[in-house]
Chain A
Amino acid sequence: MLSEKHNEKEAEGAVRELTYAEALREAMRQAMEKDDSIFLIGEDIGVYGGAFGVTAGLVDEFGPERVRDTPISEAAIAGSCIGAALTGMRPIGEIQFMDFITLSMEQLVLQAAKLRFMFGGKAKVPFVLRTPGGSGTGAAAQHSETLENWFVHVPGLKVVMPSNAYDAKGLLLSAIYDDNPVIFVEHKLLYKTKAHVPEEMYQIPLSQSHVAREGRDLTVVATSVMVQRALQAAEQLSEEGIEIEVVDPRTLSPLDDRPIIESVIKTGKALVVHEAPTTGGYGGEIVARIAASEAFDYLDAPIRRLAGLDIPIPYNRTLEYHTVPQVENIVEEARKLVRGEY
């Protein structure tokens, strides 16, 4: 239904574009207008508007009670979300950079993720913790982490990673209304990217992988900013006659692996691309899902991973660039796979 509406609007030439940051802000604003139990909590989210401006202006609309600045206390930010969620509120916490979520780990991993289960399903912990990950800003090793897989490994947490502005809004709304703790991983390099974002409060269901581009030659499973890079690579490859299919899981956990498996059955080849270091990264999970499925019989090349080097993110711009997959690396890797060089 929604996509029909898009087409109508596009036909009228009235496509509304928002940046990823604006889309997130709009989701929060619309949800807060409708539901008093939703509030924001985090460092510098009020008058400063958040380190990346995502919450800019919201304190003027909703006041400091509902857009609550905290001292620098990440464990207590996570704990505040958990406690409030247990008692009828729907908090949206912000951890300023994903790196600092390490200071919230106990609360998230040992409390938020397990309380419902340990209480025999008698409580729920509905909150969202938004946080920007990723490198590419020259912020060096302690401000560039991509840690989503730490959370993927924890049953009870949901992990969402939107790759564009349209998904950002729809996924955030679903995350807000979900009755579970959701780690919502944004990307610094995506904040200023634009896409068509409808004004209405649409939801993109969690745990629904999405085929972002169709193609017959190779399945590329990518997350977050790597979806954008894979789509750019696809354009270049298409000029060479290579058509890649790009699948964006969007929700990393719980994962909807059907579209991935079906895609690999179709193409017979798979490449997984993510920013986090290769070893122990999300790519391992995707590779395992493919290898363990009926798609295995259809594979005519090894499943490959293209991910961050196993090093902390360097400060130097050139080194930083070479640490994580870029468009040209995806193009090259895809070519090799399609040409049977592996």
Chain B
Amino acid sequence: MSEAIQSITPDRARELLAAIGHEKAREMLETMYLIRAFEEKAEELYALGKVHGTMHLSIGQEGSATGASNAVRSGYDYLLNHHRGHGHCIAWGGNVNFMMAEFLGKETGYCRGRGGSMHIADVERNNLGANGIVGGGIPIAVGVGLSIHLRQTDQVCLVIFGDGAANEGAFHESLNMASIWNLPIIYMCENNQYAMSMSVKRAFKVEHISERACAYNIPGVTVDGNDLLAVYEAISEAAERARAGEGPTLVESVTYRWRGHSKSDRQLYRTREEVKEWQARDPIPRYANRLIEAGIITQEDVQAIHDEAYQRIEDAVEFAENSPEPDVSTIMDGVYA
């Protein structure tokens, strides 16, 4: 059985921030605001009818994405993530211009407008893509881990998925293989309480998804996913184990999605009160306050960081809107190498 949800004491937070360094600590706040700004803009563009298709917003989950990506060497290590993936891509160092262009289906987008919101990948930075299939990335992580092992590098693979994905059969097959072969994989389950309308209370008999780690004899931890530093610490430890050849870890990051599952969700399965309770645990001010308490930034800095992020997203929209559509004559491109 795993312990209760792990959180970070103020003393431990100061220690971690000192180890992280002021510059990176501040950048992580910038990242969280950039994610929030990106997604609020995505929502707005959607409402304006500028986007065809669907999207999944991770507003409220920025601490989890940012803490995790920064605990590994994004761009050197590997990332696989899922449909609610804008935040992961940004935290991994993705370029919001290319992301916004992809969202609007433009040729300059990360996937040349072929993939869209659910399939953004940044292959040059070893971000192997979001996924439209729940659990789709989990078995791929085994292959990435195996490749790292066979190529004998010191990379790790961070694979992020939702609570819902942990109930696909592929989860079991993947964790078992990764554990018997001690592969350098960090399984991060973002438990945001729901898989569409299915609450974790109805979908799991275990209290914490991390308890499933015992079936593979690997460590399983549950952390407060709205506390960036708690996620950072857990993923850092998992990465160390992976690099030391000690195999995979299952990290459950407990968080909450503020918005509906996708564009068409009347949210009949939860109450407004519940949403409000979680909104009071907004990961962004929580982290900002830690930085202020540690004397790293001031309240004015927070405002400036906020404003800069929102401006950055305005620029991204301009880039995307001024970008060309894919040419229909290229429609057959890219099916085969």
Contacts and interface: CB of A to CB of B under 8 A. Distances in A.
Interface in B128-179: 131-136, 164-165, 167-169
A318 interface: yes
A316 B330 CA distance: 12
Given A71-B167, A72-B165, A142 B118 contact: yes
B214 interface: no
A309 B332 contact: yes
B197 interface: yes
Contact of A100 (B102, B106, B133): B133
A312 B335 CA distance: 8
B53 interface: yes
A115 B116 CA distance: 41
A322 B329 CA distance: 10
Contact of A316 (B113, B167, B195): B113
Interface in B299-337: 325-326, 328, 331-332, 335
A141 interface: yes
Nearest to A313: B114
B105 interface: yes
A216 B216 CA distance: 67
Q: Which of A71, A320, A323 has the most CB of B within 10 A?
A: A71
Contact of B105 (A51, A74, A310, A317): A317
A133 interface: no
Chain B residues touching A, range: 35 or more
Interface string A71-87: 11111100000000000
Interface residues of A, number: 37
Nearest to B262: A51
Contacts of A75: 169
A241 to B, nearest CB: 31
A312 B167 CA distance: 27
B113 A43 contact: no
Interface in B242-269: 265-266, 268-269
Contacts of B169: 73, 75-76, 103
B18 interface: no
Contact of B132 (A103, A137, A141, A323): A141
Given A139-B54, A142-B133, A311 B331 contact: yes
B196 interface: yes
B325 A137 contact: no
Contacts of B335: 310-312
Interface string A33-74: 000000000011011100100000000000000000111111
A142 B121 CA distance: 15
8 contacts: A69-B197, A69-B202, A70-B198, A100-B133, A138-B52, A141-B119, A311-B335, A315-B115
B20 interface: no
A139 B117 CA distance: 9
Given A141-B119, A314-B114, A315-B116, A48 B52 contact: no
Contacts of A291: none
B203 interface: yes
A140 interface: yes
Q: Which of B54, B118, B268, B331 has the most CB of A within 10 A?
A: B331
Contacts of A71: 164, 167, 195, 198, 203-204
Nearest to A97: B132
Q: Which of A72, A142, A310, A318 has the most CB of B within 10 A?
A: A72
A265 to B, nearest CB: 37
Given A72-B135, A138-B116, A140-B132, A48 B203 contact: no
Given A139-B54, A141-B132, A316-B113, A43 B325 contact: no
Contacts of B164: 71-72
B134 A72 contact: yes
A23 B88 CA distance: 41
Contacts of B203: 71
A47 B269 CA distance: 7
A51 B132 CA distance: 15
Interface string B37-80: 00000000000000111100000000000000000000000000
A285 interface: no
A288 interface: no
A208 to B, nearest CB: 35
A329 B53 CA distance: 24
